[in-house]
A and B are shown apart, each in its own frame.
Chain A
Amino acid sequence: MSEAAPLLQVDGLRKYFPVRGGLFRRVVAQVRAVDDVTLQLRRGQTFGLVGESGCGKSTLGRSIIRLQEPTGGRVLLDGTDITRLGRQALLPYRRRMQMIFQDPYASLSPRRTVAQTLREPLDIHQIGTPKEREHQVSQLLDVVGMSARVLNRYPHEFSGGQRQRIGIARALSLKPDLIVADEPVSALDVSVQSQILNLIADLQREHGIAFLFIAHDLAVIQHVSDVVGVMYLGKLVEVADATALYSSPKHPYTRALMSAIPQPEPGSGRQRIMLEGDVPSPMNPPSGCPFHTRCPDAMAKCAELTPQFTNLGSERSPHAVSCHLYGHDS
C-alpha cells in the first residue's frame, strides 16, 4: 500500500463503438466514447469525474470494471491488468470492484425481494455459511440506514432514496476496494440527494473504499471528491485536487461548466460564460483540441494541434490541464 502503487491505474483506455451501416452492415464509423484516458486512484481516495451527457464518463466507468469491453489500453487493479482476463479469472476481481447505478427504479430486479438482491453476491462468491450470509444481509441494511424489517419487500414498495440505499448495500456486500458510482444522486430529490451523498462520504471514510464518482454536477462532485477530472468528448481535459480545481479552474471548459450552474442566490450577478452551440458528435470529433469549436478562448492552433497535458501544480499536488493556453511550446 505504498504511494508508488495506486489501487487503480488506467492507462490510455479507449472504448470505440462501431457504427454499422449499408447492405452488409459494415463498420462505417467509430464513436469514440472514451479516447485515450489515463488516470489513477489511490486506496480510499475518491476521484470525481465530471462532464456533460455524451462525454463518455459512464462508458469510462463501465469499461474500467469490465461491464463493457475496452477497445484498447490497460486497467490495472493492484498491479494486475484486468482488461484481458477471462470470465473465471476475472471473478475474484469482480468481488473487489462494484458499481452504484444512476436510476434507482431500474437498478433493482423488480421481482426479487431485498433479501434476494442482497444475498445474491454473497451466494455467487460463497462468502460465509448460509447462516452468516443471512446475518450479513441484515447488517448491510443497517449500514445504509434501513431496518431489517424490509427484507421481504419488493423494490416498488420503496421510494427512490430507499432504493438507492439498497443499491449501495448491494455494492458494499462484497466489501470491495473500488466502487464506481455512476450519477448516484442525479435521479433523486434534493433533500434525499444530500442524505445519500452524506452516506457515501461516511462509507468512504469508515471503510476506506476508493470511489470513482461520476456526475454531471460540479457541486455534487465537490462534496465527495479528493481529485476531480473534467471530461469532454471522450477525453480528460483537466485533472486536479478538488481544492485546486474549485479555487482556480484552468481549462476554459471547466470554467464555463462552473459558471453555468444556476446558483440559489438571487441577484448574485455573476458573469456567466455562455457557451455557443452544442457538443459535437463523438463520431466525428473536431480536429486539434476537441473543445475548440465552442471555446471562448480558441486560437488558430487549437484547430490543428491536439494539446498535451501540462502540470500547472506542484509535484505533490499536480494540476494537469490539456489546453494550448498553458502550453510552453512557443
Chain B
Amino acid sequence: MTATPLLKVTDLAIEFSTPQGRVRAVDGISFDVYENETLGIVGESGCGKTVTGLSLLGLIPSPPGRIAAGSIELAGRNLAKLDEAAMREVRGGEISMIFQEPMTALNPVFTVASQMTDVIIRHKGLTRAQARREAIDMLGKVGIPAPARRLDDYPHQMSGGMRQRVMIAMALACGPKLLVADEPTTALDVTTQAQVIELIGQLQREFRMAVILITHDLGVVAETCQRALVMYCGRIAEQAQIEPLFRSPRHPYTHGLLDSIPRIRDQRLTQLPTIAGRVPDLLNLPPGCRFADRCTRAQEDCRTAEPELTQAGQSAFACYHPIGHQPAEPVA
C-alpha cells in the first residue's frame, strides 16, 4: 500500500482510573487505515477494542477515562488534541460510528425522521425539506422498504435488523470518510446478520469509505475485512492481511482463537480446542508477554520482557516464538 493512510493511530494509550488504581485499557497501539478498505479489530471482551473505537470519535467517558498518550491523525489532523466542540464537528461528519445495540443508540421518543434530519441539517446545512429528502434517499439505500413511510416511525416500531439499518443510514447520511462499526451484528440473528454484513460491504464499496469493524467474531472478519488486528489485553498481538492471518497465523493467541471457534465440522469432535486459563487482570499484569500464562509455546524469555510488534513476512506480530518458525538462535 503506497497511498498515505486516511487514519494514522500512533502509540495510543487509554487509561481509566478505578478504585484499585489506574488501568491501561489500551497500551500503546499503532495502526493505519486506508481509504476504501475494511480493517477488522478482533479480540475478546476487555481487550480494548471497543475503547479504541470510541477514542477515534472522542467518546471515551471522561472521567474516569482519558487518552494518556499517542496520537490519532485523521487526514493529518490530530483528533486526540481536539476540544469537544471541534470533535463534535468531526463526529457524524468525517467519522461515524454504529453500535451493537441500535435500540440504545436511537432515541426512543423521536421519530426516525427527526433524528436523521437533525444530523443532516447540522453537518450539511440543508433545509428541513431537503434533509428529509436525503433521509428518505439514505433509508432506501440501506434497503428499508417504503422508506418515505418508515421515516415517521418510532424506533420501537421497527425490528432489530431494521433498526440497525436505520443506524447505518444515519451514520452514512453525511458521507463520512471513516465508519467505525462496533459489533454491528452481534445483537442480530444469523439470517439478519448476514443481511447487515452484506449491506455494510456494499455501502463501503459504493461510498468508497474506510470501515473499522470491531468484533469478537472471526467469521465476520473473514467475510468482510481486507486486513485485521488481533488485540489481547490492550495490545496488538498480530496484524496482517486476512489471507495470511487466517491461513497461517503467527501469534499463538490468533491461532488459539481461530481454533476454538465452534464451526460446523464434518465430524463431531470429542473435545473442542481451547485456550487454557483466562485473560489476566489489567490491574495485575504479568511481567513479559501478557499471553505467556496461557501460551503453549511460552519459554523463559516470554516471562521477562514484553515482545514488540515486529513485521516478519506477511504479518506483524508480538511474539518471541511465533508459529511456523524455528526458534531463533539465542543472541549472545
Contacts and interface: CB of A to CB of B under 8 A. Distances in A.
Q: Do chains A and B touch in the complex (CB under 8 A)?
A: yes
A278 interface: yes
A328 to B, nearest CB: 29
B264 A256 contact: no
A92 interface: no
A197 interface: yes
Contacts of B262: 193-194, 197, 217, 219-220, 222-223
A126 interface: no
B58 interface: no
Contacts of B261: 190, 219, 264
A263 B265 contact: no
B25 interface: no
A261 B185 CA distance: 12
A191 B219 contact: no
B270 interface: yes
Given A52-B189, A260-B191, A274-B195, A192 B278 contact: yes
A161 B189 contact: no
Contacts of B246: 264-266
A79 B217 CA distance: 43
B190 A260 contact: yes
Contacts of A191: 44, 256-257, 260, 274-275
B192 interface: yes
Of the candidates A161, A198, A256, A272, the one having the most CB atoms from chain B within 10 angstroms of its own CB is: A198
Contacts of B295: none
A194 B274 contact: yes
A223 B275 CA distance: 17
A189 B223 CA distance: 20
A194 B273 contact: yes
A278 B188 CA distance: 11
Q: How large is the interface on A (under 10, 10 to 19, 20 to 34, 35 or more residues)?
A: 35 or more
B190 A216 contact: yes
B162 A258 contact: no
A139 B258 CA distance: 33
B191 A275 contact: yes
B220 to A, nearest CB: 5
Given A159-B278, A262-B219, A274 B198 contact: yes
Q: How large is the interface on B (under 10, 10 to 19, 20 to 34, 35 or more residues)?
A: 35 or more
Contacts of B275: 191, 194
A195 interface: yes
A196 B258 CA distance: 17
B65 interface: no
Interface in B245-282: 246-247, 256-258, 260-265, 268-275, 278-279
B89 interface: no
B54 interface: no
A86 interface: no
B317 to A, nearest CB: 18
Interface in B168-198: 189-195, 197-198
Report whether over half of chain A's contact residues are helix, strand or loop; otherwise say mixed: helix
B222 A262 contact: yes
Contacts of A190: 44, 216, 218, 257, 260-261
Interface in B67-110: none
A260 B231 CA distance: 26
A201 interface: yes
A197 B272 contact: yes
A257 interface: yes
B159 interface: yes
Nearest to A185: B262
Contacts of B272: 194, 197-198, 223
A189 B186 CA distance: 12
Contacts of A53: 160, 189
Given A159-B278, A192-B278, A223-B268, A266 B260 contact: no
Interface string A43-75: 000000000110000000000000000000000
Contact of B219 (A160, A162, A246, A264): A264
Given A217-B262, A263-B222, A263-B263, A274 B269 contact: no
Given A194-B262, A194-B274, A266-B242, A278 B220 contact: no
A21 interface: no
B308 interface: no
B161 interface: yes
A252 to B, nearest CB: 12
A243 B266 CA distance: 9
B267 to A, nearest CB: 9
A260 B162 contact: no
B202 interface: no
A264 B263 contact: yes
Contacts of B274: 191, 194-195, 198
B45 interface: yes
Nearest to A270: B223
Interface in B105-135: none
B256 A201 contact: no
Interface string B199-230: 00000000000000000111111110000000
Of the candidates B160, B191, B197, B242, the one having the most CB atoms from chain A within 10 angstroms of its own CB is: B191
20 contacts: A52-B190, A191-B44, A191-B260, A194-B272, A194-B274, A197-B262, A198-B274, A216-B190, A223-B269, A243-B268, A262-B220, A266-B242, A266-B243, A267-B243, A268-B222, A272-B194, A274-B194, A274-B198, A278-B161, A278-B192
Interface of A: 52-53, 159-162, 189-195, 197-198, 201, 216-220, 222-223, 242-243, 246, 256-258, 260-268, 272, 274-275, 278-279
Interface of B: 44-45, 159-162, 189-195, 197-198, 216-223, 242-243, 246-247, 256-258, 260-265, 268-275, 278-279
Given A190-B216, A258-B264, A278-B162, 8 more contacts: A159-B279, A190-B218, A193-B260, A197-B272, A218-B190, A223-B272, A261-B263, A264-B219
